[in-house]
Chain A
């Protein structure tokens, strides 16, 4: 268990296309950090470089105080959980878990003790004699986790460990992983492309896009204050207003309308959640009010989703206070300053 530092990682499989570019992460001792991002953004690549299964083109990996950038995979003392579980089909559950200990030449008694211990923590004690083919997906997943944990790894690496499980088991297992990680005070990196999953269990989240970390923050910060257009889109913001300048008080939109919002450098867009846009009765003098016409309405259960055409562009608005409005009705929208978030590109 140790602090993990990834510095300026670059990676290219073919020498031309850069899959990772200048990627840095810093993970404190005992922290669980998720890497979140769309398919193909380089999550697995990052994890495999950290594990030593791939060699970076550039950059460093430091565990504790030790630079392990050039250490071969089998000397890194990491634990890894694979998406396919990658259990050894020819070994029993016990021997799967004992494998890493045997490689470390521990004596029989110690191995027995440690394996039994980890099997009981992961709830596998009764299955020790079974073979992987005789286990359910969730059980295989646990074995894979136990195998990674038993060597008491410096860092635990998990690559989409839950994606082969059904929805219910997924929730159960992610809580289990979180519990074990906290109990053992394990430094862990968890790769996923499921936003909910990663918010639920992480201390911090690194949102990746095209081989770069776009934002590295706590789940709360990412949810409430996405920094870039990509992050905002990825976690579900839907309204994006392009801005072209800032005059010291307000942003100037493409359509020449002034919108007040928190000042921030490099801002290219403003965003606001559909339910934070208020439908108001009469246009008051305050800033950030815009007129529009409803062009579509969808019932969402506890609210109505209106698509409103405004001079700022088409905005999505969720409303659960007013009576039902219908198509072609004119409305006045208020985009409160505190809810408008500035985004970088």
Chain B
């Protein structure tokens, strides 16, 4: 039987786990190498490349910009997505399912096309500032996460508790903040984290929507990597991995990482 004690399965599992982890470990190792280009095994040991990150304005500004965009996009996705979810799950709408698919539809469109099409509409036709267009693009990336994760938990929540709050003297707004929100908190946080991480890591949407003063970290790394092959990339990668790990740790602390994928 294919249970824990099955030898071939055990070996296979360990090997694949190894394949999954080794590449990232190699990145970490190369970040400490002394030579001007990446090579393994490394010679010497240095933190030089980490210092060099700070010499790269593209990385520093990119990090700030990516952080800013990810935060704004995630918050606006929550701000706009949660009311929509509320309407879909609490108003007995005739076409609720249709709306749900409509809101998830941005996921059906390749991200590169989202960026490409948005560039033509938002930037060229509507003449929106590049930053706004970029935020819109990232908002579209985030919205489906909010819709999916939050509506799953709204559907589990007993609709009568809200009514109980109304009967107890709450207005609809009070009831939402005092009774609904505290009970879907976990899914809201999970949605926020998914939005944030995916927006922060996104390349294809930003590709068309960034400009000289609008430099996102992942695209900056991509560009750097296409022109240089020195351990600075390894170093910034390590920094980002630590960033990811810290976020996962925070999520785990507050709601359990497995909430992110459900």
Chain A residues near B (Cβ < 8 Å): 51-53, 73-80, 82-84, 86-90, 99-100, 103-104, 147-148, 151
Q: Given contacts A74-B171, A99-B168, are A82 and B163 in contact (CB under 8 A)?
A: yes
Q: Given contacts A89-B183, A90-B182, A90-B183, are A78 and B167 in contact (CB under 8 A)?
A: yes
Q: Which A residues are in CB contact (< 8 Å) with B179?
A: 88, 90
How many A-B contacts if CB must be within 8 Å? 62
Chain B residues near A (Cβ < 8 Å): 158, 160-161, 163-171, 174, 178-179, 182-183
Q: Which B residues are in CB contact (< 8 Å) with A76?
A: 167
A74 touches B166 (CB 8 A): yes
A103 touches B169 (CB 8 A): yes
**In the complex, A83 Cα to B166 Cα: how many Å?**
16
Q: Which A residues are in CB contact (< 8 Å) with B166?
A: 52-53, 73-74
**CB<8 Å pairs between A and B, sample of 27:** A53-B166, A73-B163, A74-B166, A74-B167, A74-B171, A75-B169, A76-B167, A78-B167, A80-B167, A82-B163, A83-B160, A84-B160, A86-B158, A86-B161, A87-B161, A88-B164, A88-B165, A88-B183, A89-B183, A90-B182, A99-B168, A99-B178, A100-B168, A103-B168, A103-B169, A103-B174, A151-B168
Further contacts, 16 of them, CB under 8 A, given A74-B171, A80-B163, A88-B179: A51-B167, A52-B167, A53-B167, A73-B166, A74-B166, A74-B170, A83-B160, A86-B160, A88-B183, A90-B182, A90-B183, A99-B165, A103-B170, A103-B174, A147-B164, A147-B168
Kindly report which residue of chain B lies nearest to residue A157, judged by CB atoms. B167
**In the complex, A79 Cα to B165 Cα: how many Å?**
10
Main secondary structure on A side of the interface with B: loop
Q: Which A residues are in CB contact (< 8 Å) with B169?
A: 74-75, 77, 100, 103-104, 151
Q: Which B residues are in CB contact (< 8 Å) with A148?
A: 167
Give the 8 A-B residue pairs with the shortest CB-CB distance, closest first.
A103-B169, A86-B160, A100-B168, A86-B164, A90-B182, A80-B167, A73-B166, A86-B161
Q: Which B residues are in CB contact (< 8 Å) with A151?
A: 168-169
Kindly report which residue of chain A lies nearest to residue B182, judged by CB atoms. A90
**In the complex, A82 Cα to B166 Cα: how many Å?**
13
A73 touches B161 (CB 8 A): no
Q: Given contacts A84-B158, A84-B160, A88-B161, are A79 and B167 in contact (CB under 8 A)?
A: yes
Q: In whole Å, how far is B53's beta carbon from the nearest beta carbon of chain A?
A: 43
Kindly report which residue of chain B lies nearest to residue A73, judged by CB atoms. B166
Kindly report which residue of chain B lies nearest to residue A98, judged by CB atoms. B168
Which of A53, A87, A103 contacts B163, CB < 8 Å? Answer: A53
Kindly report which residue of chain A lies nearest to residue B164, judged by CB atoms. A86
Q: Which A residues are in CB contact (< 8 Å) with B182?
A: 90
**In the complex, A148 Cα to B178 Cα: how many Å?**
18
Q: In whole Å, how far is A193's beta carbon from the nearest beta carbon of chain B?
A: 18
Q: In whole Å, how far is A85's beta carbon from the nearest beta carbon of chain B?
A: 8
Q: Which of B158, B165, B169, B170 has the most CB of A within 10 A?
A: B169
**In the complex, A77 Cα to B179 Cα: how many Å?**
19
Kindly report which residue of chain A lies nearest to residue B163, judged by CB atoms. A53
Q: In whole Å, how far is B146's beta carbon from the nearest beta carbon of chain A?
A: 21
**In the complex, A84 Cα to B167 Cα: how many Å?**
15
Q: Which A residues are in CB contact (< 8 Å) with B164?
A: 80, 82, 86-88, 147
Q: In whole Å, how far is B156's beta carbon from the nearest beta carbon of chain A?
A: 11
**In the complex, A103 Cα to B164 Cα: how many Å?**
12
Q: Given contacts A90-B182, A90-B183, A103-B174, are A82 and B168 in contact (CB under 8 A)?
A: no
**In the complex, A76 Cα to B169 Cα: how many Å?**
8
**In the complex, A53 Cα to B170 Cα: how many Å?**
12
**In the complex, A74 Cα to B167 Cα: how many Å?**
5
Q: Which of B158, B167, B179 has the most CB of A within 10 A?
A: B167
Q: In whole Å, how far is B179's beta carbon from the nearest beta carbon of chain A?
A: 6
Q: In whole Å, how far is A84's beta carbon from the nearest beta carbon of chain B?
A: 5
